[in-house]
Chains A and B, each alone.
Chain A
């Protein structure tokens, strides 16, 4: 058995979710090879070589992979991935974008967002917005899967000494090009990796009121998230959305402020260790999953919370 793990990185450093994906690979067993594709990604490749348990790092350094365009990356991974029993990528916007393309090129049915490894051919994954867990079995020659990072504890980023091997494969499908990007700037921890997340919903009433949450978050070293209602109302940008269609988080502590707790929101946070709900509606469904519920006006409770923590 041999597992190919696609590394997520920004060329200079590896994204933490790569370590969770390697952890899933270890549960499958066998030789673990990490593929780093990018442009000027030498530093990321060196970091990948240090991950505990990795036997080899393959590096495809070419302008064609600079922005992780799915068309180009998928052709690379489909070619490199031949002969591996498993191909894994983190279930991030990058992994979800290119990996189904790889599966189709290899003519296999992909398995999305695995949350558990039963054995090398049997996996668990959430369906229906996390309201059911399916156990699925694949007997295909290559198992192509994205991994839900929050479901696996990361492996150590240091301690390994894998050999780094350069690949000279430049795949440019020639059907797409990168135009530009607008990244939200934030000094707070990344939402999906934060130990504490403070989220606001429609009850925040406007974007300015999110300042209250930022203040609490900064005192706790927390990331700030939002419900779909808050994003749709324009209070905060969409990359802050937690839920079935946004990000999946599982922090130690999740504080939901002014969030009713729709099925789609719960899908993104109900694996958090401790959930706190602050809502003035005591009938709100969020209280059914909250470990600690406070029925109160958030405009009084949040500033008080900031003072007390």
Chain B
């Protein structure tokens, strides 16, 4: 079966971001970019399905700026077969979901795997929205995925523990951190990935309007915490908590 994997280019998760001086957003000049960590897990899961003989072809899709080609090449180096980039910087989740829906209509994958959230916008929406638009079942926050007999069993991380659901294929699965441990791309695979096909499209090709429906008025740093004190021992700590902070 064909598997579609969506990947996003985001600020590297180790970078401590700074708010731009004019409060228009986050300062992204000269900041290291990378594939969103949850998307790496999605690619890894697709590659494992291929290694098990369940998946026959993996298509990696990104919606983003021109530079997002790098993240598609990374997915290709990890084992995806070909890539599609829709060039649209700053598209909001609903627009991304509509673009992915158009690609799903065209490619007809049986399974779409994507991350549960991107670590820049922290929205946690796109997979659910795609599933709604395509009329598919959704297995969000997946920590285990088993494909068998035209359906997929997904074990999901929920607030109180784990829940397992059974979805008819085609379906959308969004990955949680514990689904797998992503591999690293080897140098020969990175070289080979350069020769794999990568289609470049624009939102207009799919008739999707990507203008924002929710406008960002300003972005500010969070309130700073006051500097704390170091205590010498446990007795002093307990004393401060009881008599100064009065929290115990």
Q: Which residues of A contact B (CB under 8 A)?
A: 67, 69-71, 74, 92-94, 96-105, 107-113, 122, 126-140, 173-184, 192, 196, 220, 228, 231-232, 237-239, 244-245, 247, 252-253, 263-264, 270, 273-276, 282, 287, 289-296, 301, 304-305, 308-309
Contacts and interface: CB of A to CB of B under 8 A. Distances in A.
Q: How large is the interface on B (under 10, 10 to 19, 20 to 34, 35 or more residues)?
A: 35 or more
A182 B241 contact: no
B165 A176 contact: yes
A174 B167 CA distance: 9
B216 A135 contact: yes
B158 A70 contact: no
Contact of B26 (A96, A97, A132, A301): A132
Interface of B: 11, 13-14, 16-17, 19, 26, 92-95, 97, 116-117, 119-133, 135-138, 140-141, 143, 153, 156-168, 171, 176-178, 212-222, 225-226, 228-231, 233-235, 237-238, 240-241, 245, 247-248
Shortest beta-carbon contacts, A-B, top 9 = A100-B128, A104-B132, A175-B137, A100-B125, A109-B213, A104-B129, A176-B137, A179-B164, A183-B161
B234 A308 contact: yes
B167 A100 contact: no
B248 A105 contact: no
Given A127-B120, A175-B136, A291-B226, 16 more contacts: A74-B132, A100-B125, A110-B129, A128-B120, A132-B221, A133-B220, A135-B216, A135-B219, A136-B214, A137-B214, A274-B247, A276-B241, A293-B231, A305-B237, A309-B238, A309-B248
A133 B217 CA distance: 11
A179 B153 contact: yes
A80 to B, nearest CB: 16
Contact of B216 (A74, A136, A140, A287): A136
Contacts of A104: 94, 97, 128-130, 132-133
28 contacts: A69-B165, A70-B131, A70-B140, A71-B131, A97-B138, A100-B93, A105-B132, A110-B93, A127-B120, A127-B121, A128-B11, A132-B19, A135-B219, A138-B213, A138-B214, A176-B166, A180-B163, A182-B161, A182-B162, A183-B160, A245-B116, A270-B225, A292-B229, A293-B230, A294-B231, A294-B234, A296-B234, A308-B238
Contacts of A135: 216-220
Given A112-B124, A112-B125, A128 B26 contact: yes
B222 A131 contact: yes
Given A100-B124, A101-B128, A294-B231, A136 B217 contact: yes
Contacts of B126: 100
Contacts of B213: 108-109, 138, 140
B231 A287 contact: no
Contact of A301 (B136, B218, B234): B234
Contacts of B240: 292
Contacts of A71: 131, 137-138
Contacts of B120: 127-128
A154 to B, nearest CB: 17
Nearest to A101: B132
A292 B237 contact: yes
B137 to A, nearest CB: 4
Given A128-B11, A228-B177, A293-B228, A179 B165 contact: yes
B140 A97 contact: yes
Which of A104, A179, A289 has the most chain B CB atoms inside 10 A of its CB? A104
B233 A296 contact: yes
B122 A128 contact: yes
A101 B168 CA distance: 17
A288 B95 CA distance: 39
Contacts of A110: 93-94, 123, 125, 129
Given A176-B167, A239-B159, A294-B230, A98 B119 contact: no
Nearest to A130: B222
A275 B245 CA distance: 10
B110 to A, nearest CB: 13
